[in-house]
């Protein structure tokens, strides 16, 4: 329905006053845009004058979809992969369509997937979680055992350390789904890991954990005990319903704010030790080779970051000049986002964006910037600042500090070039 049809059939005072208010504030450009739309509406519009089919026939009954699915008109809102990046679907990645989402919660069916040995299909009745190593009582929990522990609910983002990694040396992938879509944000229901470790009883020299997955990759990752006792969860629900198989059903480790690789899925065992293990994920992966030949390692926290999700290459401006809504996401593995700045001219001038919705620690934040586009070329950038004063760096600042070889932990400022026709492209400003 057009704006006019809404006003005619359901006069809506607040909507009208928003529109007229907009003209008064915005001046010439908006007035022209709205005037043009009024002229179109003057011609008979069959969508208003004719009774539509969906208004005349009965729709599906309540049993048509016992598990609800999105409208058929949303069929292009899906996870997508980059074919040259992942040769086979087993050790693979796909990306969250962040350009098409709003708010802060990622719907379960759209959470990006990263697995190294395919999706394990596990009957919860057959699943066990073992805690062994430096504990007084090695324990094995069934799912039923786990359901008797106190549980908590928290919204956290999960970002793969390799998110934006392909962009380290320059702009490459044309769309924020691909440059920034290895992130999702859901409400987890889980048991504080601290409670399970207490149940087993930690020896005095316990200092590290090695959680292990039950999938074919048997993924493991060294996690310092302090983090486990602080805020890690053994989660079994996401957004209120059971974890999806691809997210680790029936249980996964939640390691708030830290790189996604540590969030072991299909969690089957936690070994307690007095020092870190140096397996593949601590050595050849998840380390960054610096210009001086040394490698950074144990870079667990995901640093402060943001991206404009619209306009963006997959979400060009199609409405012409005038009122334009810019929106995006910001997050920090250290805590809350305090401020997001937006630039329309490649970082010369900055304005403070409006953060809307819940501001939760280690969660995605949603920001908006409403402005009047005059139709000229723009270079859009966003810059996030977290509650500890960490400021999102430029890509050049990152390269100056870490050289050209890195993949992981690229939290640099992203630039989108918007051309005069509204088409938008991934570029870098040097
Ligand atoms: N856990 C197991 N058991 N197997 C895996 O392949 N992949 C890791 C992590 N946990 C992985 C795993 C990586 S690299 C990431 S980024 C996250 O899971 C991805 O979580 P998601 O698939 O829920 O997005
Ligand atoms: Co990952």
Domains identified in the chain and CATH numbers: 15-44 (no CATH), 89-296 (3.90.420.10), 305-427 (2.60.40.650)
Lowest mean pLDDT of 36-40, 102-106, 193-197, 231-235, name the range. Answer: 36-40
Please name the residue that has the structure tokens 């400021």: 391
Phi and psi torsions of 395, nearest 5°: -65, -35
Average pLDDT over residues 406-417: 97
**Per the structure block, which two tokens stand in for 210?**
């090695």
Task: Please tell me the distance between residue 390's alpha carbon and the centre of ligand 2 in angstroms.
Answer: 23
Residue 37 has a pLDDT of 53
Average pLDDT over residues 92-114: 97
Q: pLDDT-derived band of residue 88, with 50, 70 and 90 as boundaries?
A: confident
Residue 75 has a pLDDT of 98
Contact 176, 382 (CB under 8 A): no
Task: Please tell me the distance between residue 260's alpha carbon and the centre of ligand 1 in angstroms.
Answer: 6
Residue 40 has a pLDDT of 56
| Atom of ligand 1 minimally distant from the CA of 247 | 23
Give the whole-angstrom CA distance, residue 395 versus residue 401.
10
Q: How far, in Å, are 67, 73, 379 from residue 70 at the CA level?
A: 10, 8, 34
Contact 69, 102 (CB under 8 A): no
| Atom of ligand 1 minimally distant from the CA of 113 | 22
> Each residue of 249-261: pLDDT tens digit?
999 999 999 999 9
Contact 406, 291 (CB under 8 A): no
Task: Please tell me the distance between residue 127's alpha carbon and the centre of ligand 1 in angstroms.
Answer: 18
- Mean residue pLDDT of the chain comes to 91
pTM, 2 dp: 0.91
Among protein residues, the one with the nearest Cα to ligand 1's atom 14 is: 261
**Per the structure block, which two tokens stand in for 292?**
């001086």
| Atom of ligand 1 minimally distant from the CA of 91 | 6
Average pLDDT over residues 201-229: 98
Secondary structure (3-state) at 7: helix
Among protein residues, the one with the nearest Cα to ligand 1's atom 24 is: 113
Contact 426, 174 (CB under 8 A): yes
Among protein residues, the one with the nearest Cα to ligand 1's atom 11 is: 115
Residue 19 has a pLDDT of 36
Residue 270 has a pLDDT of 98
| Residues whose beta carbon lies within 6 Å of some atom of ligand 1 | 111-116, 158, 160, 184, 213, 215, 217, 219, 246-247, 260-261, 263-266
Instruction: Give the ranges where 58-209 is alpha helix by DSSP (H).
Output: 143-146, 176-180, 193-200
Q: pLDDT-derived band of residue 41, with 50, 70 and 90 as boundaries?
A: low
Q: Could you list the beta-strand ranges (E) of 92-127.
A: 92-93, 114-115
Residue 234 pLDDT exceeds 80: yes
Residue 89 pLDDT exceeds 80: no
């Amino acid at each position: 329905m057009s704006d006019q049809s809404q006003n005619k059939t359901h006069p809506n005072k607040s909507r009208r006053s928003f529109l007229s208010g907009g003209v008064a504030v915005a001046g010439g450009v908006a007035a022209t845009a709205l005037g043009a739309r009024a002229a179109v509406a003057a011609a008979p519009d069959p969508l208003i004058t004719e009774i539509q089919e969906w208004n005349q026939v009965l729709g599906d009954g309540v049993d048509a979809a016992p598990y609800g699915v999105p409208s058929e008109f949303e069929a292009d809102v899906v996870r997508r992969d980059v074919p040259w990046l992942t040769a086979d679907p087993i050790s693979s990645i796909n990306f969250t369509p962040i350009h098409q989402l709003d708010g802060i919660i990622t719907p379960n069916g759209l959470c990006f997937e990263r697995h190294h040995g395919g999706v394990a299909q596990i009957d919860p009745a057959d699943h066990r979680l073992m805690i062994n190593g430096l504990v007084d009582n090695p324990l094995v929990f069934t799912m039923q055992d786990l359901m008797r522990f106190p549980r908590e609910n928290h919204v956290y983002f999960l970002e793969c350390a390799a998110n934006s990694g392909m962009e380290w040396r320059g702009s490459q992938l044309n769309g924020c789904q691909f440059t920034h879509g290895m992130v999702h944000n859901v409400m987890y229901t889980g048991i504080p890991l601290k409670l399970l470790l207490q149940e087993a009883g930690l020896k005095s020299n316990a200092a590290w954990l090695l959680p292990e997955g039950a999938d074919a990759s048997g993924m493991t990752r060294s996690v310092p005990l302090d983090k486990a006792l602080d805020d890690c969860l053994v989660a079994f629900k996401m957004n209120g319903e059971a974890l999806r198989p691809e997210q680790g059903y029936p249980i996964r480790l939640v390691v708030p704010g830290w790189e996604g690789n540590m969030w072991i899925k299909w969690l089957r065992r936690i070994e307690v030790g007095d020092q870190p293990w140096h397996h593949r994920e601590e050595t050849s992966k998840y380390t960054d080779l610096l210009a001086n030949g040394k490698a950074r390692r144990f870079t667990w926290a995901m640093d402060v970051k943001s991206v404009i999700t619209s306009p963006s290459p997959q979400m060009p401006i199609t409405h012409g000049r005038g009122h334009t809504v810019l929106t995006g996401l910001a997050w920090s593995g250290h805590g809350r986002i305090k401020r997001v700045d937006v630039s329309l001219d490649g970082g010369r001038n900055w304005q403070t964006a409006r953060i809307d919705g819940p501001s939760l620690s280690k969660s995605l934040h949603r920001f908006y910037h409403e402005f009047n586009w005059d139709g000229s070329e723009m270079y859009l950038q966003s810059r996030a600042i977290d509650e500890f004063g960490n400021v999102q760096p430029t890509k050049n600042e990152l390269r100056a500090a870490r050289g050209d070889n890195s993949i992981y932990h690229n939290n640099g400022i992203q630039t989108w070039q918007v051309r005069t026709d509204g088409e938008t492209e991934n570029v870098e400003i040097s």
